[in-house]
Amino acid sequence: MSFHTLGLSKPIIETVTELGYENPTPVQEKVIPHILKGKDIFATAKTGSGKSAAFLLPLFQHINRERDEDKFLHVKVLILVPTRELARQIYTSAQKYGSKLDVKTQLILGGGNIDPQIQALKLGSEIVVATPGRLNDLLKLKALNLTHVEHLVLDEADTMLDMGFLSELDTIFALLNPKRQNLLFSATHSGRVKFFAEKLLTSPKRIDMDEPGSAAENISQIAYLTDREKKLELLSYLIGIKNYSQVLIFSSTRAEVDEIQQELKSAGLKAEVIHGERTHGARHKALNRFKEGEVRILVATDIAARGLDIPELPCVINFDMPQSKEDYIHRIGRTGRAGKSGEAISLLSVDEDDMFRSIERLIKQKILKENFKGYERELVHVKMDKKYQQEQKKQKVKGAFGKSRSKAAAKSKKTTKRDFRYKSEG
Ligand code: AMP
């Protein structure tokens, strides 16, 4: 199928042709005709599937038509997203896709000074891309009017709900034109987002690109079975021997992200970091340095798993497992974008086996697990049954000052969980 057959207008087709897009991606094929017809949409689409163009291109076409009917500059399209990174990315895409149509787009996100945003809004805009918190602040200040919004887009709606934005969203919805088109995109289909969609959407066209929660097939996934205390060394070794042009490393805690950066630095590898404790400006700068190829390595918490668009990123490494299994899909979705192949490596310690199994259940796929020579697991999972506890008692040895300590307790100081023991103990 070509872009022509989707019903898009000439200037839009010219734009995508100039960008080198030969054909629409599957989500674009399915979604664009319905959006052009004015239907509500409830779509689950993979990260990196070309989702932004799928809603932006037809919305530009709507704005162009509505412009002829309405001589004043009003906000016609409101795009709400959970994170600043995603907002920035969609804003950039909107400028790219709307270059031939001279559409005025405004970016609204928290973190920085609110005054420049108030000033910019006074000039008028047709598309607003916003995070819900800052948009609410601006609405309280009466800095913008949303009564003319005819198209509402909620991208990564599931994450917005997970992040607790429901009351902000309700306040915003109450201010919109009730006669409008609603487009809801969600990476996964949790019960909550389904309920939310039922309330918001009118006879929506339901589009499931794949089984909800599926990971892209063009990403090869592998897990190296190792111990937590070996991960830092294994990570720098891996990056060293594989010589990736670029790699994105995820860890779920800020402290660990900083620790990884330090370890890589001592191995002679320069890395930028992104996490919630860094200022907005510092995060933006780090991402840009990575995007521009000034640094090869970016280490990030899951806040960066959403909305980063880094074309041709060859590899993602999960230093640990994310707190929520859905985040695994977001993390690895940073590679293998727009049909290119990618590699996702997970460093898996024994305390993460349960989470890994639930990820496999979610993506309905068994992920290849291997040992990495020299970094194999010594800790193994054991069931804390009666027999094992009795065995432990028998193994009691005299510690310093005559205190009794079990061998296992002495050896497993580094793990906080109780149900692991070293392989050598059988
Ligand atoms: P998205 O899922 O919207 O973040 O898009 C992922 C990447 O795919 C971005 O780098 C887009 O520029 C690119 N892209 C979007 N649509 C197409 C297309 N039809 N052909 C090739 N690349 C595309």
Least Cα distance to 300 among 282, 276, 270 occurs for 276
CA distance 2 to 23: 5
Q: Which domains can be identified in the chain, with CATH numbers?
A: 3-208 (3.40.50.300), 219-371 (3.40.50.300)
- Beta strand 219-225 pairing with 247-250: unpaired
Atom of ligand 1 nearest to the CA of 49: 2
- Beta strand 342-348 pairing with 315-318: parallel
Our answer on whether the CB atom of 25 is closer than 6 Å to any ligand 1 atom is: yes
Please give, one letter per residue, the 3-state secondary structure of the chain: CCCHHHCCCHHHHHHHHHCCCCCCCHHHHHHHHHHHCCCCEEEECCCCCCHHHHHHHHHHHHHHHHHHHCCCCCCCEEEECCCHHHHHHHHHHHHHHCCCCCCCEEEECCCCCCHHHHHHHHCCCCEEEECHHHHHHHHHCCCCCCCCCCEEEECCHHHHHHCCCHHHHHHHHHCCCCCCEEEEEECCCCHHHHHHHHHHCCCCEEEECCCCCCCCCCEEEEEEECCHHHHHHHHHHHHHHHCCCCEEEECCCHHHHHHHHHHHHHCCCCEEEECCCCCHHHHHHHHHHHHCCCCCEEEECHHHHCCCCCCCCCEEEECCCCCCHHHHHHHHCCCCHHHCCEEEEEEECHHHHHHHHHHHHHHCCCCEEEECCCCCCCEEECCCCHHHHHHHHHCEEECHHHCEEEHHHHHCCCCCCCCEEEHHHC
Pocket test for ligand 1, best of 2, 21, 29 (most atoms within 8 A of CB): 21
Our answer on whether the CB atom of 309 is closer than 6 Å to any ligand 1 atom is: yes
Structure tokens at 116: 């420049």
Nearest CA to ligand 1 atom 20: 21
Pocket test for ligand 1, best of 52, 89, 95 (most atoms within 8 A of CB): 52
pLDDT at 417: 43
Atom of ligand 1 nearest to the CA of 338: 8
CA distance 40 to 151: 9
pLDDT tens for the chain, 426 residues long, are 788 899 999 989 999 999 999 889 989 999 999 999 999 999 988 667 889 999 999 999 998 876 666 666 889 999 999 988 889 999 999 999 988 888 889 999 988 899 999 999 988 899 999 999 999 999 999 999 999 999 999 998 988 887 889 999 999 999 999 999 999 998 766 668 888 998 899 999 998 875 444 556 678 899 999 999 999 999 989 998 888 888 999 999 989 999 999 999 988 889 999 887 777 788 888 888 988 889 999 999 987 556 555 656 889 999 999 988 888 888 888 787 666 678 999 999 999 999 999 999 888 889 999 998 899 998 776 655 666 666 666 665 443 333 444 444 444 444 444 455 555 544
Residue 50 alpha carbon to ligand 1 centre in Å? 4
Our answer on whether the CB atom of 346 is closer than 6 Å to any ligand 1 atom is: no
Would the pTM count as exceeding 0.75? no
Atom of ligand 1 nearest to the CA of 22: 20
Atom of ligand 1 nearest to the CA of 25: 19
Atom of ligand 1 nearest to the CA of 307: 4
Residue 88 alpha carbon to ligand 1 centre in Å? 15
Q: What's the one-letter identity of residue 207?
A: I
Least Cα distance to 46 among 58, 31, 59 occurs for 31
Largest distance between two CA atoms of the chain: 89
pLDDT at 148: 93
